[in-house]
A and B are shown apart, each in its own frame.
Chain A
Amino acid sequence: MGVTVLLPYQIPEGKTGAQAIDYLTKRLLALGAIHTGQFLVDCETYISTPQHGPAKTVHVLHDSEYPASTFSILDNGAGKQIPLVADNLFDLLMLKMTTVYTSKKQTKIESKGARFEYGDFLIKLGSVTMQENFKGILIEIEYRPCVVLSFCWEMIRETLQGFLGMPIAKEYPAYFSQQIMNPMGQQQIHPKQNDLYEPIDTINQYLECFTNYRKQNVLPVASSVGVGAGAGGVAVTTQNATAGMQGGNQRMRM
């Protein structure tokens, strides 16, 4: 288990998601990476029923890299998040709790695709889908021997640049310099890049990205004539065009 960086990939203009994945796969194999199977990360969100006080949210995630664990993050609605790592029985427990927490089935989201090994690097090219709809590409890169991001960020950056063929900012990824609440109740920047990395950090990054994709549930108007975005119904909902993922303007059946 080592440091993992999750990166939404901006699909180049005029390419479909499948074409982009194909392109990245070819570049990875050319670099010397070895294809080592598939992976899947999924996320389901449950919301507390109104009669139980202010709305709380529970996100339940699975990661094929940790097949025996179920990760859950409880959001109390006031900006505080409580992570919990349990074994797979936790899923059955959630089924029993339908009176308290109901699942928002329509927001079930997942990222799946191929898994590659390059030296001690683990690289995953994930296609994100929600309700069968293609939402974008998430690239996960893990450097397994190292447990502190600030030690190996340059290595990860160089490898990413190597197969993406585009420059990556020198700064640490946003997730690693988060605002946190200190014990005095004040906001402060916590330099997470010097902490020991843990599996829950990967899950948190996925949740962050998934939440961003869900926000663009209502697709912005396609600015260019993308391959799958020609469907007429899309153009109606321009008001919600938030400046989020540019990759989101591609729509495709997987």
Chain B
Amino acid sequence: MEKLNSTLGAVRSLRSSVRQCFEHLADGTNAELGEDSRTKFLLKFQENFSNMNAQLREVESLINGLQAPQTPYCLGQTTYLAQETAPERQALYSQLVNSYKWIDKVHDHSFLAFNNLNQNNLRRSYTYCSQKRVRIPFASCNNTDPDHTDKLLSEINLPLTSYQVCRPFGSNVVVIVTISRVLKAAIVCKGVLIEWVTVKGFDETLDPDDLWTESRYEVFRKVQEHTHIAMLHFFSPTLPDLAIKSYMTWLNSYSKLFLEACKRCGKFVSNGLPPTWRDLRTLEPFHEECRNC
């Protein structure tokens, strides 16, 4: 890759000196200044010309040093663009490259911003990122290959819970989690980041094609609200794998949704609902209204 870069650089400088030389030629000499300026012009031209020659030789030697890549570059799904026949859509590739560059920059900036904001002591939640942890090389979590996601999900193995992975939207994953005989949840991921969670009862249908209808039971609508709070809490772009594992562990604590009394008031039912909140660290059950006092 470095060789290729230096070759491209050499080609660029060759082109600029050729351009300089021609510009010089086109400017010509001033006839009024006589013989003296003419020799000066000639000398300058010879200098430019020899420069060009040297650079051309350099380019040639660099090109000889290049090797053909062993494997073709993997362009992922962009290769399918080559099969596009409609002429108005053939320009998509350059747009794609532009947006890719743009996203890359957004990543860099947001990563720097993340580091800066993390030094701020006025945090309200107890997520604490040490300086050491932040310096871990940044892995893109929006674009991970499907194998990585599959492997990650297969590593998660919690009691009473089954996972079913499907991909109704191309390479992005929807995980249908069934927890005991209590509830079902559909987790929509972008790469390995959780984007949306839908929670339904065990006897309700949860179809990957219809992820937006709410449960007909109040308790699961409440649990869904809480899963979204937890989704934001466990969100960690620097450690996406750990984030998803902790989230799954937290979600698994709902296997005892109806079985556990509230840790604060000691009752099972309050306002017709069981304790729907689970503490993010201790996984202890609380009623929504008992949680903050």
Using a CB–CB distance below 8 Å, which chain A residues touch chain B? 1-2, 32-33, 118-121, 143-148, 151-152, 154-155, 158-159, 162, 196
The complex places the Cα of A145 from the Cα of B219 at a distance, in Å, of 7
Instruction: Assess A120 versus B181: contact at CB under 8 Å? Given A158-B267, A158-B268.
Output: no
Contact partner of A148 (CB less than 8 A), chosen from B181, B218, B267, is B181
Contact partner of A147 (CB less than 8 A), chosen from B203, B218, B267, B268, is B203
| Chain B residues with CB below 8 A from A145, complex form | 201, 217, 219-220, 258
In the complex, B269 has a CB within 8 A of chain A: yes
Contact partner of A119 (CB less than 8 A), chosen from B182, B219, B258, is B219
Q: At the interface, is chain A mostly helix, strand, loop or mixed? A: loop
| Chain A: CB-nearest residue to B267 | A158
| Chain A: CB-nearest residue to B272 | A119
Say whether A120 contacts B203, CB under 8 Å: no
Say whether A151 contacts B181, CB under 8 Å: yes
| Chain A residues with CB below 8 A from B218, complex form | 119-120
The complex places the Cα of A196 from the Cα of B182 at a distance, in Å, of 11
The complex places the Cα of A126 from the Cα of B290 at a distance, in Å, of 34
Kindly provide the distance from the CB of B205 to the nearest chain A CB, expressed in whole angstroms: 13
| Chain B residues with CB below 8 A from A155, complex form | 258, 268-269, 274
The complex places the Cα of A195 from the Cα of B248 at a distance, in Å, of 26
Say whether B219 contacts A147, CB under 8 Å: no
| Chain B: CB-nearest residue to A145 | B217
For the complex of A and B, 10 pairs with smallest distance between CB atoms: A119-B272, A152-B258, A145-B217, A155-B268, A118-B272, A151-B258, A158-B268, A145-B201, A120-B217, A145-B219
Contact partner of B259 (CB less than 8 A), chosen from A33, A121, A154, is A154
Question: Which of A32, A121, A154 has its CB near the most chain B CB atoms (within 10 A)?
Answer: A154
Say whether B269 contacts A196, CB under 8 Å: no
Residues of B156-203 contacting chain A, CB below 8 A: 180-182, 201-203
